[in-house]
Chain A
């Protein structure tokens, strides 16, 4: 147990000073200001993998690692769409996920936003539209923001969220 505490103290809090602090820390501070202004300080995200190859998910996971620690800005990943403000969708929307994606979106309360994350979600990417996939998220549900990249890096996701803060909400 002692070793464990020594290791914890030796490691310290690494969150404040990530190697590329200029980008990720500055982005984070700005994100926090946006969240305070438009979302009363916090935002809840429900992620749906709609046919992704899993690379996009690895980068979404990375947002929660001690370097980015996205929760500190008030960004939470939630289990139920009923609790979500934002639907974060990855993948070219495989047709086998089409109904599940639609239902998740329908289950979310208003106001709600949809982010298409990664090239596949933005425009179909490497897979496009085929007998098995729908090609892009906005072929199925309305999309508010696109974050391109294959996969988008954690800093791309952070700046994407920031952009969402700056986009005025449009009532359907």
Chain B
């Protein structure tokens, strides 16, 4: 076994007297799967923390009368999956006391599957509001969906928020319907005067039952659904789902298709970064930045529409390849566009950097310290602005990134300005990557027919979306239909960071703090 980080974890488990099974690098590549028995679930996490492993994800899958549980950890690009089984009523020791990021994913697993956790720091419901009852679990096979005779769904009025007490403390409830055109969620502020003492998020408003809707789908239809987990990341979510399916069936994707996927993923990154930096400017009343950057974004998505047939390139990544192709004239025009945009974006960003009013509003605002970022296991540009250089394209490169050269920008300031700066840097990096990709598009087919599945199988897709690492698990039965789909959007790891970084800021700065993180509601609520 080559993965040194995983070997040192196995050795540390032996020292701590934690029995672990034989590491298996064939079942969920590129990860190594290590079986752990359920009572040691938390202690294994403690050892992992001691080894400096990053906590990535947790999900469960109902199997007959028991559950199969998965926890993903990573260090230096080596992915490790801890796997265990519990009986239906058998509780699992929570990993949240060791890795705070585990908290909401464990509560989500409880609300949808009824898994009980011991030693969990927070036992309140999370994804469940009032659409189903406390003792009903939608992802269990015996869950009965009655669509006809249900009345109006009540508002979720009695969630026990943490409250501050004392002289001058006010509570400010915001949402789910916000003032602007944004996704719904509830924010409960405890404030003294203008200063935020504490923020508590309440999400789950856009829960659409994606995990349940996936069950029974064919690969093509699953990827359509994956493309709608979070509409702004449609390319990267479709890619992650395809990667999981293709790894599950050991399918070789044509090189031209991989190159086209990367071109679309980088275009998605650039478009979102442009729009969001513009929106950050707008949130502090700097209209110039918004005008210029949304102008560039619109021009860019129009090119995507002309070349790929969809402004966001939805449903272009499909199992077995891509559903579109480009010719040499289009390659030339995209290279020219990328070069022109590199110049113009750099020019505008330099003006933003020299604006004192912008500096005054964005620097030191919404600071997430590197220590906090480490503790929460934050990924993506939020992590990279707080000293954590996690980037799957670099750490565990998947084709075609394995043949590309690029730098991963990292800052330590952790404020809104640093997050905006990282994204501005990444626009340059992505446009450069686009040129590299466009100048070396391999010949050949853009799609091979996805094979018929003969045996039950499972796969893990790991893709760097524009928000950060997307980790998607897919399980197929012997007929090739989906039995489990869990896309872990990076937003699961970003939302808790927002609660921390907004503390001690003024309430009116919340919108710009929120925009600088820009976690997805839909990708999180599923």
Contact = CB atoms under 8 A, between A and B. Distances in A.
Contacts of B154: 99
B224 A151 contact: no
Given A4-B351, A133-B209, A126 B225 contact: yes
B232 A54 contact: yes
A27 interface: no
Contact of A57 (B181, B212, B302): B181
Contacts of A57: 181-183, 231
Nearest to A5: B288
A77 B181 CA distance: 8
A60 B305 CA distance: 17
B212 A131 contact: yes
A3 B347 CA distance: 10
B184 A97 contact: yes
A94 B204 CA distance: 10
A108 interface: no
Interface residues of A, number: 52
Given A11-B295, A127-B208, A131-B145, A98 B231 contact: no
Contacts of B228: 53, 55, 126-127
A3 B351 contact: yes
B275 interface: yes
A52 B155 contact: no
A19 B302 contact: yes
Nearest to B210: A127
B181 A47 contact: yes
Contact of B297 (A65, A79, A126): A65
Of B129, B184, B225, B312, chain A has the most CB atoms within 10 Å of the CB of: B184
A7 B147 CA distance: 57
Contacts of A47: 181
A54 B522 contact: yes
A96 B351 contact: no
A149 to B, nearest CB: 10
Interface string A108-151: 00000000000000000011111111000000000000000011
Given A99-B152, A99-B153, A132 B521 contact: no
Contacts of B209: 127, 130-133
Given A54-B232, A98-B153, A100-B176, A130 B145 contact: yes
B206 A91 contact: yes
Interface in B504-524: 520-522
Given A62-B298, A100-B177, A127-B213, A51 B234 contact: no
A42 interface: no
Interface string B414-455: 000000000000000000000000000000000000000000
A58 B294 CA distance: 11
B50 interface: no
B42 interface: no
B179 A79 contact: yes
Nearest to B176: A100
B298 A132 contact: no
Nearest to A104: B177
Contacts of B390: none
B182 A55 contact: no
A96 B129 contact: yes
Interface string B482-526: 000000000000000000000000000000000000001110010
Given A7-B347, A14-B295, A96-B131, A54 B231 contact: yes
B297 A52 contact: no
B138 A131 contact: yes
A102 B179 contact: no
Contact of A66 (B210, B212, B291): B291
B231 A51 contact: no
B351 A53 contact: no
Interface string B23-40: 000000000000000000
Contacts of A77: 180-181
A40 interface: no
A97 B176 contact: yes
Contacts of B301: 62
Given A49-B206, A97-B205, A100-B205, 18 more contacts: A51-B208, A52-B206, A52-B522, A53-B522, A54-B520, A54-B521, A57-B181, A61-B275, A62-B298, A65-B295, A94-B205, A96-B156, A96-B207, A99-B153, A102-B152, A130-B209, A131-B131, A131-B209
Q: Name the 10 nearest CB pairs between A and B, nearest first.
A: A55-B231, A132-B209, A99-B155, A79-B179, A53-B231, A95-B131, A65-B294, A95-B153, A98-B153, A54-B231
Interface of A: 3-4, 7-8, 11, 14, 19, 47-62, 64-67, 77, 79, 91-92, 94-100, 102-104, 126-133, 150-151, 153
30 contacts: A7-B351, A11-B291, A49-B183, A49-B184, A51-B206, A54-B521, A55-B232, A58-B312, A59-B311, A60-B181, A61-B294, A66-B291, A91-B206, A94-B207, A96-B130, A96-B153, A96-B156, A96-B206, A97-B206, A99-B155, A103-B155, A126-B225, A127-B208, A130-B208, A131-B212, A132-B209, A133-B208, A133-B209, A153-B305, A153-B311
